[in-house]
Amino acid sequence: MSDPVDSRSSLSDAPTPEPASGHKLTRRGFFAGLGMTGAASVLAACSSADDSAASAGNAGADSGASIRKIDFDGPHQAGIQEDSQTHALVVAFDLKRDGLPSGGLKQNLTRLMRIWTGDARSMTQGKTALADLEHELTVAPQNLTITVGWGPKLIEEVGLLGDAPSWVKKNLDGLPKFKGDKLNDDFGAADVVLQICGDDLTAVSHAARVLTRGGRDYATPKWTQRGFVDSPTGETPRNLLGFKDGTAIPRKEEEYNEFIWDDQGGSAMVVRRIVFDMPAWEQLDRKSREVVFGRHVDTGAPIGGNDEFDPVDLNKAGDDGLPLIDERSHVGITAGEGTHIRRRAYNWDNEVTPLGNSGLIFICFQNDPDKAFTPLQKRLAEKDRLNKWITHVGSAVFWVLPGTQHGAYWGQKILEG
């Protein structure tokens, strides 16, 4: 085996690129999970000889290095609209309340937001957080995003219901319970959530440690959920049932404005933990699996279609005159509503066991869950054939604060308003 030092140093000499001009519009996240990571840096070496090569993957926008960043500041928080990174670490916290004087909770929430915003702004941009001595672990954020949300109960408790979207006060006790839910508190409501996503798990892990440590006087971790998605051949990532997951999502700016962002530029984050019954699922043949999903396994196309992005037509019938897509299939129920929520689902697995121990962290964003996730999930809970193989065990909802600009901290306008 030859010594890899030479090629190593040729990479490490690459300069740090400027951050993208607006995190909403960058497509670098899309390439991140797709094995396109290093393309940009190598392309830089050959694009002068053949500029057209750079257009092969739109990688020209990302020239110069293997260090990748997503802007922190903007009208909306990062970590929603960008294409999913390969790793997600979602940590829910409860605020400390013992011995606090009146008004103390709001004051502590303010302190926590100040600390976390500063550290998140630094780490996502490849800089060192306050009091962090391991700055080598933040040099390459690799599309690190850190997204914060507040739970409805906390918003009420600190007297800010009037400043939050109206869905918050209608969901003080969390989302409604749906048919078949087997929820446990382990993955339930909490005061604050951090969604930490990135393509480099070391950076994600370090960020979680820095934020937990930085906030330790005010907040204690309540639950942790980890997930991963991969897209080695550049297609939509697959879940652990083998199907593409995330075909129908909003992709246009107008769709985000209409369905995802609320009036203040925030959003509602739903986190559902779903467990798969793998032994039962594995007994289904592929055809049955396709009936359940309403899509083909290989292409992801609606049944009877050829391409993943073919429109879903529930009226299309086969030679026998029967509808090709079963009305109780997953797609049969969700058709047409894919752009109303920004799915950001992640696979999870755990301790390897004989029966399997895996599933999906279904994360979605929308401007009003009462109009998006909740009615849709109600229909799914009643009818979806897939319910036989999946169980929802965790449910939480948070108001994702508007984005930050000009050095502000998360929620500043609301907390100081």
Q: Which is nearer to a second copy, 45 or 322 (by Cβ)?
A: 45
Task: Report how far residue 417's alpha carbon sits from residue 405's, in angstroms, rounded to the nearest whole number.
Answer: 16
Site for a second copy in 139-178 (CB under 8 A): 139-140, 142
Q: Does 190 bind a second copy (CB under 8 A)?
A: no
Work out which of 17, 20, 34, 293 binds a second copy, going by CB under 8 A.
34
Task: Report how far residue 345's alpha carbon sits from residue 4's, in angstroms, rounded to the nearest whole number.
Answer: 37
Task: Report how far residue 209's alpha carbon sits from residue 186's, in angstroms, rounded to the nearest whole number.
Answer: 20
Minimum distance between the CB of residue 7 and a second copy, rounded to whole angstroms?
5
Question: Torsions phi, psi of 153, nearest 5?
Answer: -60, -40
Residue 358 has which token pair? 């895996």
Q: Which is nearer to a second copy, 242 or 311 (by Cβ)?
A: 242
Q: Which is nearer to a second copy, 107 or 358 (by Cβ)?
A: 358
Q: Does 191 bind a second copy (CB under 8 A)?
A: no
Work out which of 97, 169, 216, 388 binds a second copy, going by CB under 8 A.
216
Q: Does 197 bind a second copy (CB under 8 A)?
A: no
Secondary structure, 3-state, 218-245: CEEEEEEEEEECCCCCCCCCECCCCCEC
Binding mask 223-262 for a second copy (x = CB under 8 A): xx---xxx-xxxxxxx-xxx--------xxx--x------
Q: Does 206 bind a second copy (CB under 8 A)?
A: yes
Stretch that binds a second copy, among 154-162, 278-286, 328-336, 378-386 (CB under 8 A): 278-286
Q: Does 388 bind a second copy (CB under 8 A)?
A: no
Site for a second copy in 301-360 (CB under 8 A): 309, 347, 349-354, 356, 358
CB 278 within 8 A of CB 358: yes
Q: Which residue has the tokens 């010594």?
A: 3
Task: Report how far residue 85's alpha carbon sits from residue 22's, in angstroms, rounded to the nearest whole number.
Answer: 17
Q: How many CA atoms lie within 13 A of 63 on its CB side?
A: 12
Q: How many CA atoms lie within 13 A of 163 on its CB side?
A: 18
Minimum distance between the CB of residue 224 and a second copy, rounded to whole angstroms?
5
290 vs 310, 333, 391, CA distance in Å? Answer: 16, 14, 19
Stretch that binds a second copy, among 3-11, 149-157, 383-391, 393-401 (CB under 8 A): 3-11
Binding mask 12-31 for a second copy (x = CB under 8 A): x-x---------xx-x--xx
Secondary structure, 3-state, 151-178: CHHHHHHCCCHHHCCHHHHHCCCCCCCC
Strand partners, 89: 196, 226
Q: Which is nearer to a second copy, 172 or 297 (by Cβ)?
A: 297
Helix axis angle for 104-124 and 201-214, nearest 10°, is 150
Q: Which is nearer to a second copy, 3 or 263 (by Cβ)?
A: 3
Binding mask 81-120 for a second copy (x = CB under 8 A): x-x--x--x-x-----------------------------
Minimum distance between the CB of residue 66 and a second copy, rounded to whole angstroms?
4
Site for a second copy in 51-80 (CB under 8 A): 53, 56-59, 66-67
Total number of residues that touch a second copy (CB under 8 A): 101
Q: Which is nearer to a second copy, 13 or 263 (by Cβ)?
A: 13
Minimum distance between the CB of residue 174 and a second copy, rounded to whole angstroms?
21
Work out which of 18, 49, 322, 416 binds a second copy, going by CB under 8 A.
49
From 293, 290, 295, select the one nearest 305 (Cα to Cα).
295
Q: Which is nearer to a second copy, 276 or 409 (by Cβ)?
A: 276
Work out which of 15, 104, 130, 136 binds a second copy, going by CB under 8 A.
136
211 vs 43, 141, 194, 298, CA distance in Å? Answer: 36, 15, 9, 41
Minimum distance between the CB of residue 317 and a second copy, rounded to whole angstroms?
27
Task: Report how far residue 237's alpha carbon sits from residue 247's, in angstroms, rounded to the nearest whole number.
Answer: 9
118 vs 122, 132, 221, 411, CA distance in Å? Answer: 6, 12, 19, 13
From 110, 78, 96, select the one nearest 195 (Cα to Cα).
78
Work out which of 28, 289, 295, 343 binds a second copy, going by CB under 8 A.
289
Q: Does 362 bind a second copy (CB under 8 A)?
A: no
CB 190 within 8 A of CB 92: yes
Q: Does 292 bind a second copy (CB under 8 A)?
A: no
